[in-house]
Amino acid sequence: MAVHPSLATVADLATLLGRTFTPAQEAQAQALLDQASSVVRAYVRQDISRATTTDTFTMRRADPVLHRCAGAVTLPQRPIVEIDTVLINNVATADWWQDGNDLLLRSWTWDQPPAAHRPPQVTVTYTHGWDPVPADIQAIVMQAANRVIVNPSGIRSETVGGESVTYLIPAVGEYLGVLLSRTEQKVLDRYRRTAGTVNLRSR
């Protein structure tokens, strides 16, 4: 499994907060940024940061009249920067073109029964993601990490010695920790992948 970098750095967070971290605080901040980055990636179902991936997909039949091709696969990671190589059943081909996130394969002889029950496997190596990471995604990652730094106990309010203290937790009263608020999810929805081809194998 690929290890992805944090979507924001400790230096970014320190600048946002206007403070200098001690070594121990830097380690905590890095751990929280890593967690927040994982939460954001899980929500949008995207790697987000620039990377090159090799994935294998099952080819689906395409409308030969509408698409003028034999088959297609949908590449799940966005945005697609470059498609490097395409193999069909481990045979390299250059007979394809890109239409958005779809890879359209111009010609391929589909097997007749019983082999037809084993659709062609398409292995694609492609580069995808943003460099740099979009500013709104960075901001959300830092906000999610900072919530835990500011309020590690997740307390909204408490009374100590007759004095009431209220913490910055959303009005709905949910403890977010390194999670996302509904407002943050709405911001991230523009990046979210809601459907796509199932990835069979990554390497």
Q: What is the DSSP string of 43-87?
A: HHTS--B-EEEEEEEE-EE--TTTT-SSEEEE--SSSEEEEEEEE
Give residue limits of the domains in the chain.
10-47+132-191, 51-128
> What percent of the chain stands above pLDDT 70?
74
Query: Which amino acid, residue 113?
Result: P
- pLDDT band at 114; cut points 50, 70, 90: low
Cβ(65)–Cβ(74) under 8 Å? no
pLDDT tens, residue by residue, 2-34: 689 999 999 999 999 999 999 999 999 999 999
**Window from 55-64, 90-99, 102-111 with minimum mean pLDDT:** 102-111
State how far the alpha carbon of 129 is from the alpha carbons of 44, 46, 118, 120, 201, in Å: 12, 8, 31, 27, 19
- Enter the pTM of the model: 0.79
Q: Is the pLDDT of residue 68 over 50?
A: yes
Closest-CA residue to 36 (of 78, 12, 6): 6
